[in-house]
Amino acid sequence: MNVLVTGGAGYIGSHACVELLNAGHSVVVADNLANANAECLRRVERITGKTLEFREMDLLDRAALNELFDTHRFDCVLHFAGLKAVGESVQQPLRYYNNNLGTTIHLCQTMAAHGVKKILFSSSATVYSPDNAMPVKESARTGGCTNPYGWTKYMSEQILTDTAKADPGWTVMLLRYFNPVGAHPSGLIGEDPRGIPNNLMPYISQTAAGRREKLSVFGGDYPTPDGTGVRDYLHVVDLARGHVAAMDYMAGHPGVHVFNLGTGRGYSVLDMVHAFEAATGKRVPYVIAPRRAGDVAEVYCDPAKAERELGWKAEYSLEDMCRDSWNWQSKNPNGFAAD
């Protein structure tokens, strides 16, 4: 298939490009490099031995988007583009609503105008309301988001759902990711956060590398087995493969489909620290710090629907996630910038 990957130069999108190329699809990436480096795409080509087309463009630029669709015949769009820093979204809500909702709306309008009606959307575990019992199934309550970023995912799901309701020609896959970590086993691509990482795994690996003095564990008094927050971490390559499975599913399944993509296993912050140390032989000094605003005690999913209907299941272990994070970090101490 001819696939448009928005945000394809980013962390998850680039891993998806590898899996799409390996599966024989042809790939066009549209990314404004707001949080990415074009070097990443050259490495995707190195990993796969295949080429892709890169368009450096902002999806908010209607004319550029229209021209892209005028000059290509896409079968399907994977929509990863978006801003994703939770704390920043609290400080800059209008920028987040404008970017994350604007890109989704422009994209859908342009797709409809060109008769392209298949889209996979990067949603998030953050759309589930915090009062659900764990593990969460796709039918669990949504809403009650604790930050503007979360609301943009919630609202984008609504926009896409209403679009498909109004025109049954659409096929919409709402993929709710849990916590992607790790990197491609080649060590050529991985997560390259700018500045101080917000997320746990990059912080752990930068601490192990000596770039950060110690990890602050946000909260040691949650009602969890060791008092630290529990999440459903999954290997980014598994997540990327989930997109290929979801794309295959779209044929013959019009309408809106929601899938959790996670392992179904919850690990605490300290489990992650210990697993990282065991997998890499590196020490990760840490201190217990106050809770981070907006965090919940635990979130993990029931991934049975994805296994049943998509035939997809996360395969990589926690040890693999830690080993591959470290492999990427140690081979690319400055991310893509070094090249």
Q: To the nearest whole angstrom, how small is the minimum distance from the Cβ of residue 143 to ligand NAD?
A: 17
Q: How far apart, in whole angstroms, are the C-alpha atoms of residue 80 and residue 203?
A: 23
Contact between residue 76 and residue 1 where contact means Cβ atoms under 8 Å apart? yes
Task: Confirm or reject binding of residue 231 to ligand UFG (CB under 6 A).
Answer: yes
Q: Which does 33 bind (CB under 5 to 8 A by kind): ligand NAD, ligand UFG, none?
A: ligand NAD
Comparing CA positions, the residue from 235, 175, 185, 244 lying closest to residue 23 is 244
Q: Which amino acid is at 218?
A: F
Q: Which does 35 bind (CB under 5 to 8 A by kind): ligand UFG, ligand NAD, none?
A: ligand NAD
Q: Which one among 28, 44, 86, 310 touches ligand UFG, defined by CB under 6 A?
A: 86
Those residues with Cβ within 8 angstroms of residue 251's Cβ, 6 or more apart along the chain or in another chain: none
**Which long-range CB contacts under 8 A does 291-294 form with residues at least 24 apart?**
291/218, 291/219, 291/221, 291/222, 292/218, 292/219, 294/86, 294/90, 294/146, 294/147
Residue number with the shortest CB distance to ligand NAD?
10
Q: To the nearest whole angstrom, how small is the minimum distance from the Cβ of residue 168 to ligand NAD?
A: 26
Q: To the nearest whole angstrom, how small is the minimum distance from the Cβ of residue 221 to ligand NAD?
A: 25
Q: Is 189 exposed, middle or buried (0-12, 13-18, 19+ CB in 10 A)?
A: buried
Q: Which one among 114, 292, 305, 313 touches ligand UFG, defined by CB under 6 A?
A: 292
Q: How far apart, in whole angstroms, are the C-alpha atoms of residue 63 and residue 110?
A: 10
Q: Which one of the spans 90-98, 100-108, 175-183, 240-248 is the region binding ligand UFG (CB under 6 A)?
A: 175-183
Task: Confirm or reject binding of residue 216 to ligand UFG (CB under 6 A).
Answer: yes
Comparing CA positions, the residue from 14, 314, 258, 11 lying closest to residue 120 is 258
Q: To the nearest whole angstrom, how small is the minimum distance from the Cβ of residue 4 to ligand NAD?
A: 12
| Token pair listed for 118 | 């298949």
Q: To the nearest whole angstrom, how small is the minimum distance from the Cβ of residue 286 to ligand UFG?
A: 8
Q: Which is nearer to ligand NAD, 160 or 166 (CB)?
A: 160
Task: Confirm or reject binding of residue 37 to ligand UFG (CB under 6 A).
Answer: no
Q: Transcribe 252-304 into DSSP letters.
A: T--EEEEEEES-S--EEHHHHHHHHHHHH-----EEEEPPPTT--SEE-B--H
Contact between residue 243 and residue 5 where contact means Cβ atoms under 8 Å apart? no
Task: Confirm or reject binding of residue 118 to ligand UFG (CB under 6 A).
Answer: no
Residues in a beta bridge with 288: 217
Q: Which one of the spans 3-11, 182-190, 263-271, 331-339 is the region binding ligand NAD (CB under 6 A)?
A: 3-11
Using CB under 6 A, which residues numbered 161 to 180 contact ligand NAD?
177, 179-180
Q: Which does 99 bind (CB under 5 to 8 A by kind): ligand NAD, ligand UFG, none?
A: ligand NAD
Cα separations in angstroms, 290 against 216, 220, 221, 227, 271:
9, 8, 9, 12, 18
Using CB under 6 A, which residues numbered 97 to 136 contact ligand NAD?
99, 103, 122, 124
* Interface with ligand UFG (CB under 6 A): 84, 86, 124-126, 177-179, 198-200, 203, 215-218, 229, 231, 269, 292, 295
* Interface with ligand NAD (CB under 6 A): 7, 9-13, 31-36, 58-60, 80-84, 99, 103, 122, 124, 177, 179-180
